[in-house]
Structure formats: C-alpha cells, structure tokens
Structure 1
Amino acid sequence: ARQGGGATASRSAALVRPAAAPREPSATQEGEHPGGYADPDDPSEGPRTPQGSSEPLHTGSDGGAASPGTVTREEIIDRARTWLAAKVPYSMSAYRSDGYRQDCSGFVSMAWDLRSNQWTGSLASFGERITKDELQPGDMLLFHNAQDPEDGSHVTLFGGWADAAHTKYTAYEQTPPRTRSRTTPYAYWTNSSRYIPYRPKNLASGSAGPQSSAFPGAAAFGPGKAGAHVTRLGAMLVARGAGRYYRIGPGPRWTEADRRATA
C-alpha cells in the first residue's frame, strides 16, 4: 500500500515501506492557534496523519525515477506559489496532475523540481545542510523524527525573513486543509529546535551564494519586477511594521502589497 496509516493497511505492507505518519499542524484563520490542535493550550496534542513513501511521479505511466531538474530560488518560490494560488487540498493519497503527492513532502518535492515524490525521511539526501544564518528563499526547514516518524515530522519552505531580528519568516507549506503561506516563528510552531535547514543540491549555478546587501537601484522594483531583492525589500518593510499589507507574506514578484507597503 503506497499510503499507510489506514485501518485496512496490511501488516506486511508496513514492513516494506518507510515508517509512516508524520504529525502535521492544520492551517488556521488569522488569530487562531496556528497548530490546529484540539486543545489550543496544549500544543503537544495534534492530529496524526500517514505519510507517503519515496516513489516516482504519479502520472499513470510506468516511467522510472527521473533525476531532479535544475532550479533557481525564484523558480522554487514561484512553483510553491502555484499550489498556493490553486489552494491545493492536503492529502496523503491524492496527487496533482503533475504527479506530486499533496502532502508536505510532496509539496517540497514539487517546489524543488525533484521529479519524484519524497518523504521527510528522504528529503535530506536532496539537500545540503546549512546554518540558520545561511537560509535564503527556497531552502527548506525539515524535521524528521527518525525514532517515531508519526510524532511531529514535517517540512516547510523558507520564503524569507519577516523581521530584522530573524525570529520570524514566511513559510510555504502543505498542511491541512490546503497549501498555505504565513509568518511563522523560527523554526516552527512546535518542535522548533528539531528543524534543520537545508539548501537544495539542484540549484542552478550562481543561485546558491550569499545575497548581496547592495541596493540594486529603484529600477529593480515596481510592476513586472521580480527577484530575491524584492523578497528582501518586503521582509525589511514587514520588520518596519508593514506586515498588515501582506496577506501571504513577501515574495520574489512585485505585487500590489509591495507597493502599498512601500508607500
């Protein structure tokens, strides 16, 4: 069985697939407890959901595993935003038309253009471990509980810092009930100390280096403009109190939210 965790899953199937069932927080409306727990005063309690294993894209063909594509940081965020705009429902058994599983690890597999469905126990092999100070948009924050994958395992995409002190960031994630992006405390709402930052190994040449702090000029901002500098500007504006203008957080493409925040 590709998707374990159900009452009908066979005992033998559980022995041949990766350990399943991360516990992932539910999406909420603004002002609600961000973890989606039954008891908002007890974040140690949360829904348990099964997790898919490593597998090729679910396209209906018999094609084997493909090598990851090459992506830029801007492309990673753009790919993540396609699911955000489509409000893709969270599911461990459903697949998008592109073949990616609609859970947290399938979402990162899609954004990183891995051309296969991975799970929290395998995603680290597609990245290079980095430090918090090295995080840039498109990197991931991964918590895989090897002792008990059902207990808290989850992964998010880092979309950029939301404050100058680097205590909050824009997280893109696939979590019930659908894809979301929101300002999140570093490294996450729960099990914060256990999340590890990774940079994708398949970044396009020249996109993995440190961000320049030089001002690129006013011509680099405005309608139709895009790039990491736009995300950085948005993060600076949020740090100065303009967060109310960003419904889903700063991103690499210039939007009306950036214009209003700048004004």
Structure 2
Amino acid sequence: MTRPTPAALAFARSTLPVRRVASNGTVPSGFAALLKAAAQNQPKRSTAQPQVASKAPEIYHAAMLPAGVGPAPITRSEIINTAQQLMNVPYVWGGTSATGLDCSAFVSKAWGVARHTTDTFSSVASPISKDELQAGDALNLTTGRDPEGDGHVRLFDRWANPEHTKMYVYEETPPRSVHHVINWDPKYQPMRRNNVVDG
C-alpha cells in the first residue's frame, strides 16, 4: 500500500475533514477509517475481530455540520502546519487544488474552512487589531479597499522585528506560495478565524 505524502495528507485534511468530535467508542468505518489510518501514516489493518478505538476522533465533513455553527475548532499549530505543507504550490487565480491555489484558497485550506474570498472571510473570521495578531491570523485586503480591486489575503506567522513593522507571512502569490518577511501594510485588516484555540 502506498502511503500518502505529508503534503497530500495536509491537503486532504484541509479539504475534507473539518470537524473532529469525541468518538462513541466504536471503530470508525469506511472513509473515516481510511483517513484516520492515513493521518497516522499507517496502512489500514484488516482483522477478523472488531477493534476498540481509544477515544480517537471521528471525522465529519462540512455538509454534516449543523447550520449556523461556524467553523469547527482548530489550533494555531494546525493552521501553521497546513500552511507549511502548502508551500511551493503554484499560484493559479481561482485555483482550489494541489495543482494551483490563489491567496484566498490558500488561507481557506490553512484555516480548514470552505472556500472563501477576500470579501467573504468575514463570515468565518472576526476583525482584530494589529497588536492582537498571533500565528494563524490573517491580514485581509478586500476588493473594496484595494486600489486595483483584486484584493489579497496573507497568513500571519510572527513579527520579524521588535518595532512590529516587519512580519513573517505565508501567502499564495505568483509564481507560488512562500513564507517570507514583508513590511506591515495598514491597508490590510487583521482577522482571526472563529473558533481558533491556542496550541
């Protein structure tokens, strides 16, 4: 059995599973079991006897979430790990797959939410101040605030200097996604994904 690469796992986790809840004590079956085995980087074991899960999380898809609940909880380290796995993906405007992403799809995948644009992130995130920025938050430039009307969004990593005038960001930008230092730009609105937890 061929094991998926870490990048493929991160892409699958950011595309399909968006909510993890406590297991009811039974072994996940079907696609959920395959995802669990892949995430543990182990081949799926086949035995005649049923196995007892040790409180492993069951995976649900976005369509199964109750309406109006908002995005499932996610840790800052999960966001950054996914962004790191998506490095060097080619920039494709409107792209949503591993063959090419645009800036909004990149942040959507890192955040583990459905595809959003710079103008719709406000439905899954809340504005914060510059001083509140932490790893995994975003810097969003809506089309209305962008002089060229295209918009752009970046994922904040950390400050690059004590004065908070330079920062490390992850972003999807031509020709491909990068992690680099840029200057603070006051046109960008800092945002925090709803239900982000420390960790």
Pair in the same fold by TM > 0.5: yes
Any residues of structure 2 matched to 1:199-210 within 5 Å, and which? 199-204=192-197, 207=198
Cα 1:111–1:149 shift into 2, 3 Å: farther
C-alpha distance in 1 between matches for 2:193 and 2:71: 10
Cα 1:111–1:103 shift into 2, 3 Å: same
CA contact (8 A) 1:105 1:117 kept: yes
Any residues of structure 2 matched to 1:124-143 within 5 Å, and which? 124-143=122-141
User: Helix, strand or coil for the counterpart of 2:81?
Assistant: helix
- CA offset at residue 96 of structure 1? 1.8
Cα 1:92–1:65 shift into 2, 3 Å: farther
The answer to which structure has the higher strand fraction is 2
Tell me which residue corresponds to 1:27. none
Tell me which residue corresponds to 1:111. 110
C-alpha distance in 2 between matches for 1:157 and 1:163: 17
Tell me which residue corresponds to 1:240. none
CA RMSD of aligned residues (A): 2.6
CA contact (8 A) 2:71 2:194 kept: no
CA contact (8 A) 2:95 2:105 kept: no
Q: Give the TM-score taking structure 1 as reference length.
A: 0.47
C-alpha distance in 2 between matches for 1:164 and 1:181: 19
C-alpha distance in 1 between matches for 2:96 and 2:126: 27
User: Helix, strand or coil for the counterpart of 1:108?
Assistant: helix
User: Helix, strand or coil for the counterpart of 1:194?
Assistant: coil
CA contact (8 A) 2:156 2:168 kept: yes
1:156 aligns with 2:154: yes
C-alpha distance in 1 between matches for 2:173 and 2:74: 24
Paired residue type of 2:90 = P
CA contact (8 A) 1:138 1:159 kept: yes
CA contact (8 A) 2:90 2:100 kept: no
Tell me which residue corresponds to 2:78. 75
C-alpha distance in 2 between matches for 1:71 and 1:169: 23
What is the CA deviation profile of residues 128-160 of structure 1, one whole-angstrom value per residue up to 9, with x for unaligned ones? 111111100100000103277852510000000
Q: Give the TM-score taking structure 2 as reference length.
A: 0.61
Runs of 5+ in structure 1 lacking a partner? 1-56, 188-192, 208-226, 228-263
What is the CA deviation profile of residues 192-247 of structure 1, one whole-angstrom value per residue up to 9, with x for unaligned ones? x321001110213xx2xxxxxxxxxxxxxxxxxxx7xxxxxxxxxxxxxxxxxxxx
Deviation beyond 6 Å, 4+ runs, structure 1: none
CA contact (8 A) 2:137 2:190 kept: yes
Paired residue type of 2:91 = Y
Tell me which residue corresponds to 2:177. 179
C-alpha distance in 2 between matches for 1:65 and 1:149: 39
Paired residue type of 1:107 = F
Runs of 5+ in structure 2 lacking a partner? 1-14, 17-61
If asked which structure has higher relative contact order (CA below 8 Å, sep 6+), I would say 2
Cα 1:186–1:200 shift into 2, 3 Å: same
User: Helix, strand or coil for the counterpart of 1:145?
Assistant: coil
What is the CA deviation profile of residues 37-84 of structure 1, one whole-angstrom value per residue up to 9, with x for unaligned ones? xxxxxxxxxxxxxxxxxxxx69xxxx8596633211111111100011
Q: How many corresponding residue pairs?
A: 136
C-alpha distance in 2 between matches for 1:165 and 1:92: 34
